[in-house]
């Protein structure tokens, strides 16, 4: 038997098993149905009720089938008995369909340049480039200096403070680090060093700072605060965020409206 046939046979076996299971799964009795709203998130009741009113139940074959299976009646009879209100799967599905429809409609209109600018201004913190530092480091290897590490670091720092040119130990990380965010510094040399770099005064050699490789002496050459980038640099991100916000707002508004109408 070819591999593809065996694969298909396995699938057919699972399919038959599922049909058998379905056939012997008894329909829900009214007392099996939990109280309305139990264990369900906010909004699903309102959205599913509204979706049912829009006749989305009749258009969705999964819902129709679920209703038939649960009630052993036709879907219309099931709806008349109020199962669209009490079957959790039906209600989740209807709510999801209506939610997607609302979101899709809200995302249909392309934001204008003015709207993008306004959104960037309003959400400046979200799109800001985080604070950055530029620094020089002198490294002392724990492996090479062993017990003398701390004393060597103090001695080298004193020489640096005096203005001497001091070369540290070799490390395949640049001694001159360009503008970097805290996250970038942390990835390169660890969180304690990143924190120390952002706390260090400008232009002065720091106390020794530990990394997993040894000790580092830092001198911050430049510190830049968080910056709001120009729209041209973040246009796609702003557009996507604005469309997502519109979709969320549309769903929230629909929920409010539907709740008010109940």
Instruction: Please report whether residue 208 would count as binding other proteins according to CB under 8 A.
Output: no
Stretch that binds other proteins, among 8-16, 109-117, 150-158, 196-204 (CB under 8 A): 8-16
**Between residue 27 and residue 46, which ones bind other proteins under the rule CB under 8 A?**
39-44
Number of residues binding to other proteins, judged by CB under 8 A:
68
Contact 118, 171 (CB under 8 A): no
User: Which regions of 47-114 does DSSP assign to beta strands (E)?
Assistant: none
Contact 84, 47 (CB under 8 A): no
Q: Contact with other proteins (CB under 8 A): which of 50, 52, 60, 133?
A: 60
Instruction: Please report whether residue 187 would count as binding other proteins according to CB under 8 A.
Output: yes
Q: Contact with other proteins (CB under 8 A): which of 31, 150, 163, 174?
A: 174
Q: What pairing do the DSSP bridges indicate for beta strands 132-141 and 214-224?
A: antiparallel
Distance of alpha carbon 38 from alpha carbon 257, whole angstroms:
22
Copy the structure tokens of residue 42: 């906010």
Contact 95, 43 (CB under 8 A): yes
Closest to 136 in 3D by CA, of 113, 115, 165, 107 = 165
Residue among 4 and 125 whose Cβ is closer to other proteins: 4
Distance of alpha carbon 185 from alpha carbon 182, whole angstroms:
5
CB of residue 135 to other proteins, shortest distance in Å: 12
Instruction: Please report whether residue 108 would count as binding other proteins according to CB under 8 A.
Output: no
Copy the structure tokens of residue 164: 């001497």
| Interface contacts to other proteins, rule CB under 8 A | 2-4, 6-8, 10-11, 14-15, 18, 39-44, 59-62, 65, 88, 92, 95-96, 99, 129-130, 132, 141-143, 167-175, 178-181, 183-184, 186-191, 211-214, 229, 232-234, 236-237, 239-241, 244
């Amino acid at each position: 038997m070819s591999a593809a046939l065996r694969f298909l046979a396995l699938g057919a076996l699972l399919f038959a098993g599922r049909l058998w299971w379905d056939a012997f799964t008894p329909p829900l009795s009214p007392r099996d149905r939990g109280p309305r709203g139990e264990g369900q998130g906010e909004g699903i009741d309102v959205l599913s009720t509204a979706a049912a009113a829009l006749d989305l139940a009749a258009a969705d074959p999964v819902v129709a089938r679920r209703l038939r299976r649960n009630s052993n009646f036709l879907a219309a009879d099931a709806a008349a008995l109020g199962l669209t209100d009490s079957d959790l799967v039906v209600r989740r599905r209807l709510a999801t369909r209506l939610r997607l429809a609302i979101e899709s409609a809200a995302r249909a209109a392309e934001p204008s340049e003015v709207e993008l600018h306004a959104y960037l201004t309003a959400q400046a913190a979200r799109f800001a480039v985080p604070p950055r530092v530029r620094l020089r480091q002198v490294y002392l290897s724990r492996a090479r200096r062993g017990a003398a590490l701390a004393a060597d670091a103090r001695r080298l720092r004193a020489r640096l403070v005096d203005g001497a040119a001091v070369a540290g130990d070799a490390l395949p990380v640049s001694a001159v680090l360009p503008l970097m965010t805290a996250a970038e510094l942390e990835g390169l040399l660890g969180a304690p060093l990143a924190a120390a770099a952002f706390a260090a005064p400008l232009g002065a050699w720091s106390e020794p700072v530990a990394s997993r490789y040894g000790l580092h002496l830092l001198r911050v050459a430049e510190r830049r605060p968080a910056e709001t980038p120009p729209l041209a640099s973040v246009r796609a991100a702003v557009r996507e965020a604005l469309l997502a916000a519109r979709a969320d707002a549309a769903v929230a508004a629909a929920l409010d409206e539907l709740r008010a109408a109940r």
